[in-house]
Structure 1
Amino acid sequence: MRHVCAFFHGEEEAYRILLPFVAEGFAAGERAIHIVPPHRHREHRARLRGRGIDVNAALVSGQLDLRSTVDTYLPDGRFDGERMLRSFTAMAEEKQGYPLSRIVCDMDWASGSRPAMADLIAFEARVNELWSRHDDVVICVYDAGKLSGDMVIDIMRTHPMVLIGDSLQENPFFVPPAQYISGDAGRHGASGGAP
């Protein structure tokens, strides 16, 4: 299962680490789904061009699917885990002729709201069942400076892989979805349980 939580200190570090991974996917003929805040779409396209990616051609062909965090996660102003499961299921199943997708999701939209984060963490646990059936790589990008320690722990418990800086590894804190959802994981922090 390639569901990764990535912790960076700001956009510069995130782009420095992730752009080679993104460019490798384009070169391999894989699909790229990037979920980015709408105010950063222009900058994101410029960064891709800086890595030699023909952004306009990729958008036209469907190899690049550039989405808005607002439209994807908060289309009516709130996060709905069931709706997101349906959305990610569609992403996983609609390959458009590409062998797999590399999905990069900017998660800054949730970092300032404890209720949104609690709902997101429950979703992140459940979505592992979906990604276990697909070969796609999904990277959930978090700015470490915007998260409390409890939030970091809960995020890590719901991702089987973790990327900290440029170090990718199996996550020793990962809790299998069924165990996490049943409440046997000793959750706390954003999820509201006791340690």
Structure 2
Amino acid sequence: MIQLITLVHLRRYSAGDQGGTPVIEHAAAPVHVEHLRPGDHACVEFDDVESRWEVLTAFAQIGLARGERVMLLLDPDDLDDAATVARVDDGTGVAAGAHEHGHLVVARNTSLYFPDGRFDADRTRRAYAAATQQTVDDGHHALRVAVSMAWAPRAGWSDDELMAWEGSAEHLFRPARFAALCWYDRARFSEHMLAGAREIHPVHVLDRLSMLEVTRHPGGARIAGSGSREELTRVLTDVLARGPEQSPLHFELDLAGARDVDAHCAWMLIDLAGALPPADRLVVRCDRSLEMVLRGLGADAVPQLELAVASDLNDAAGVA
């Protein structure tokens, strides 16, 4: 089994910036689908069917495990209901039982957005609000919806019309009882539309379960997603690379919310930090358990490596 490690982000800035605000990208880092929570309005872009169903299956199974009602709004050209349930079930029997008892709902996007052949924004928002309230009344923690946005080009909508709709429903997410994952097939949408979707949605989901995404910008880099130990080593080695002419650099790796960071990964972090020039620093934000592992393996003997423990950071910020 491939071990997956979830990273929050890595920042890079020169030592000369440490006295002020680091030059980093302020756009939200893409997250793994497992990090979606009630109240999130998210988007994801897909290139292929297999990766889409991999993410949608995880989306559904995670929601069901959390006691949420899951609704998949597919395009009419997608899998039929029975094939969809079988795909999401993945041989576990969980999704099949959930579908039978109304915890998993499979429908077509056209039935919600064009019930009488025309689109009415107020009616659609009311339908989502009513479905959310019914979900809570039925005893579920929240409603999570994944919707194919293919209904928009099917209806002949322009990019601007679709972006206006996407930006108009934020009030639905404020009670934190509703989450939506809007998925876009890259073959059906212009890059202008996809860029607009990324800007409008507060949360951007990675399009694969096992993937590390690196976003570079002047003075910094950001890593998000999940990957094997080998992938993590390769990506971190590349990001930490520097030219001899560069001034001392300061890197920050946030692992406070990471999963499954074992002793092998901890050794790798220590080795990478030890290979940095003496003036460079790699700050690892972590929880108490990872701190104990790193210190037990000799982190204190590597001056380039600094540990910032999550509970200490919260205390300093006045968080109870």
Same fold (TM over 0.5): yes
Identity of aligned residues (%): 26
SS at match of 2:54: helix
- Name the one with the larger helix percent: 1
| Structure 2 letter corresponding to 1:144 | R
Q: Residues of 1 paired with 2:149 and 2:50: CA distance?
A: 15
Asked if structure 2 preserves the Cα contact closer than 8 Å seen for 1:34 and 1:65, the reply is yes
Q: Residue 203 of structure 2 aligns with which residue?
A: 161
Question: For the Cα contact (< 8 Å) 2:61–2:95, is it kept in 1?
Answer: no
Spell out the pairing of 1:38-57 with structure 2 (5 A cutoff): 38-39=76-77, 40=79, 41-57=81-97
Corresponding letter in the other structure for 1:6: V
TM-superposition CA deviations, 1:82-129 (whole Å, max 9, x none): 111111111222222101122111111223555265433222111112
Within a 5 Å distance, the mapping from 1:10-21 to structure 2 comes to 10-21=48-59
Q: Which residue of 2 aligns with 1:60?
A: 100
Secondary structure of 2:181's aligned partner: strand
Aligned equivalents of 1:128, 1:64: Cα separation in 2: 24
Relative distance call for 1:20 and 1:56 in structure 2 (3 A) is closer
Give structure 2 stretches of 5+ with no counterpart.
Answer: 1-38, 214-320
The yes-or-no answer on 1:76 pairing with 2:128 is no
The structure 1 segments of at least 4 consecutive aligned residues displaced by more than 4 Å after TM superposition are none
Contact in 2 for aligned 1:37/1:68 (Cα 8 Å): yes
User: Higher mean Cα deviation, 113-122 or 90-99?
Assistant: 113-122
2:191 aligns to what?
A: 149
> CA–CA distance in 2 between the matches of 1:59 and 1:22?
11
Question: What letter matches 2:54 in structure 1?
Answer: R
Q: What TM-score do you get using the length of structure 1 for normalisation?
A: 0.75
Alpha-carbon deviation of 1:18? 2.8
Aligned CA RMSD, in angstroms, stands at 2.4
- The residue number in structure 1 matching 2:127 is 87
Q: Structure 1, unaligned stretches of length 5 or more?
A: 170-195
Q: Which amino acid aligns with 1:42?
A: A
Scaled by the length of structure 2, the TM-score of the pair is 0.48
Q: Provide the secondary structure at the position in 2 that maps to 1:146.
A: coil
Contact 1:102 1:136 in 2 (8 A): yes
For residue 2 of structure 1, what is the amino acid of its counterpart?
A: D
The amino acid of 2:64's aligned partner reads: F
